[in-house]
A and B are shown apart, each in its own frame.
Chain A
C-alpha cells in the first residue's frame, strides 16, 4: 500500500517508482507555466527593459544620465522646416523651440489628477446613491450595467462623442447659445484644452470608479451602523468615524488606478486635439513616428519616465489595496 496520490502517479508515468518520480517532478511542474513566462518575458518584460536600459545609454552604448537630464532641458532645433512640419513645435525668436518635455509631463499629470479626482468623487457619490440612497432596485443594476459599458467606451469614439456635444457645433454648445444665450466658447471654454480633455476623460473615469467602489460600499456591514446607533452616534458621526475610515483606503487606491488609467491614454486625446495639446503620450507618439526630438535615446527616457510615474502610482495602489482588504472581506 502506498500513500501516493493519483496525480503523482500520472506525473511519474505508470512504471516509474516513487523515488524516480521525485527526481523528475520539478522540471515537469515548471513546464506547465513555461509558455506563460516565455511570453511575458519576451513581450512584456524585455521590451520594457530594453527601453529602460536605452534611457541610460548614449549612441555609443555607454552609460549616461544625459537622456534623463534631456527631459528637464530639451535641446533647441534651428531647422525651420521641422518647425513647420510639427505643429507642436513653435518658432520663437528665430529658434525652433521644442516644447519642454517637462511641461508635457506636467500637463499629463494635471489632467490625470484632475480627471481621477473628479471621477472618483462623482463616482463615489453615485455609488453611495445607488447602494444606500433607497433608490429602486432597477436603478442600481441599470447603473452598474451602464458603468461597465461606459468604462470601456474610450479611445477615438469617445472623442467623437464629445466633439459632437461640446465642439463648436456640438449640441450642448448650440443649445446653451441659442436657448440660454450663453456662448461657452466666448467665455474661454475650448474642447481642445485642459478642461475639455479632463471633462472627456471623466466620462470613463466615473464609471470605472462606480464599478470598483460599489463592492466596497456593499461591504459596509449593516451591523456597524446598528452598533454605532446603539452607542448613540448621530448619522454624521457614523459617517465620519466608521464609513469614511473604512472606505478611505479603497477610495485612495482607486483614485491612483484612475490616475494611471488616464496617464497612459493617448487615443482620446489624439483624436480630440490632434497634437495641439502636448500631453506626454502624444509627445512620445510623435517621437516614435518621426524622431521629432532628433535623439532616439530621449524617447527611451520619456518612456522610462512614464513607467516610473505609473509604476509609483501602482505601488501606492497595491499598498492601499492590502490595507482596505483587511476590512472588506
Chain B
C-alpha cells in the first residue's frame, strides 16, 4: 500500500496545483494595477464604483426574493407530499429536476416569447413585472437544490407525529407549517437558501436577456472593458461563494442526525 499512498499524494498535489494556480494568479493580477508595486487599487476602484454598489444591491435583493419565493413554493409542497401524497413524489421530483435538463437560456427564451407586452400575461410590459419574472426564473433555477435540501430536512423529522400532535393542540394548517414544520427544517431551508444565494448573485444569462441591472451583466461589462478590475471582482465573487458554502457547512453541524421514525 506504500506505492498507493505515494500516488494518492501525487494526484492530490496535481489537483491542488490546478485549483490553486488560477486563484493565486487572479489575486496577483488583481494587485498589479499600480505600476511596479502590488496594491489594492483595483479593489478600491471596484468597491467605489456606484454601478458595482447598485448592481450588487439589486442582485442581493433579487436573491432574497428568490429565496422567499422558493421557500413558499417548496416547503408546503415537500411537506404535503410526505404527509398525504407520497404517490406524487416521483412526479414532483421529476419536475424539480427539469431545470437541470432545460438550460437557463431556453427557459428565459420561453419567458420572453410567452410573457411579452402583447401576451395575456404581460410580465415584460413593466419594470416591476420584469423584475418579478427574473425572480421567478431564478426560483426555477434554484428549484432542484431547494427541493432536495428541504426534502432531506423533512426526512430527519417525524412529519406525521408532529402534525398530529399540533392538530390535537388545535393548530390549523398555516400554524402547522409556519410554527411546527418550518422551524424543524429551518437548517435545511437555510442551506438551500445560501446555495440559491450563491447561484443567483452572479447569474448572467437570465438577467442579461431580461435587461435587468444585475450583478452578472455588470461583471460581463467590466470584463469586456477593463484590465485589472475583473480579477478583483473574480476574487470577491469567489469569497462570496466560499462564505455561502462555509455557512452551509456550519449549519449542517446543527442539523438533526437521524429520523425518529422513517416514513
A16 surroundings in chain B (CB, below 8 A): none
How far is it, in angstroms, between the C-alpha of A214 and the C-alpha of B127 when the chains are bound? 45
Q: How far is the CA of A264 from the CA of B205 in the complex (A)?
A: 10
- Are B220 and A158 in touch, CB under 8 angstroms? no
User: When chains A and B are docked, how far (Å) is the Cα of A261 from the Cα of B125?
Assistant: 32
Q: Is the CB of A171 within 8 A of B25?
A: yes
Check A270–B204 contact: CB distance below 8 A.
Answer: yes
The chain A residue with its CB closest to the CB of B78 is A36
How many angstroms from the CA of A9 to the CA of B163 in the assembled complex?
13
> Which chain A residue shows the least CB distance to B147?
A36
A150-B19 CB under 8 A given contacts A32-B84, A264-B104: yes
In angstroms, Cα B26 to Cα A203, docked, is: 14
Chain A residues with CB under 8 Å of B164's CB are 5-7
How far is it, in angstroms, between the C-alpha of A257 and the C-alpha of B231 when the chains are bound?
29
Whether the Cβ atoms of A164 and B102 lie closer than 8 Å is no
Task: Tell me, rounded to whole Å, the shortest Cβ–Cβ distance linking A262 to chain B.
Answer: 11
Q: Does A215 contact B (CB under 8 A)?
A: no
Given the known interface contacts A43-B137, A48-B107, A129-B11, the answer about A310 and B4 at a Cβ–Cβ threshold of 8 Å is no
Partner of A303, one of B21, B109, B198, B220: B109
Chain A nearest Cβ from B258, distance in angstroms: 16
A217 CB–B CB distance under 8 Å = no
B55 to chain A, nearest CB (A): 12
A307 CB-CB contact with B under 8 Å: yes
Interface pairs (30), CB distance under 8 Å = A6-B168, A33-B80, A35-B72, A40-B95, A45-B98, A47-B109, A50-B114, A125-B11, A126-B15, A129-B8, A130-B12, A133-B8, A135-B9, A149-B245, A152-B244, A155-B219, A156-B204, A157-B219, A160-B231, A164-B234, A165-B22, A203-B19, A257-B100, A271-B223, A284-B109, A285-B209, A288-B109, A303-B109, A306-B105, A314-B101
Q: B-contacting residues of A (Cβ < 8 Å)?
A: 5-7, 9-10, 29-30, 32-33, 35-37, 39-40, 43-48, 50-51, 54, 122, 125-126, 128-130, 132-135, 139, 143, 145-146, 148-150, 152-153, 155-165, 169-172, 202-203, 206-207, 257, 260-261, 263-264, 266-267, 270-271, 274, 281, 284-285, 288-289, 299, 303, 306-307, 310-311, 314
| Residues of B in contact with A (beta carbons under 8 Å apart) | 1, 4-5, 7-9, 11-12, 15, 18-19, 21-26, 28-30, 72-74, 76-77, 80-81, 83-85, 88, 92, 95, 97-114, 136-137, 139-140, 143, 160, 163-164, 167-168, 195, 198-199, 202-205, 209, 216, 219-220, 223-224, 230-231, 233-234, 237-238, 241-242, 244-246, 248-249
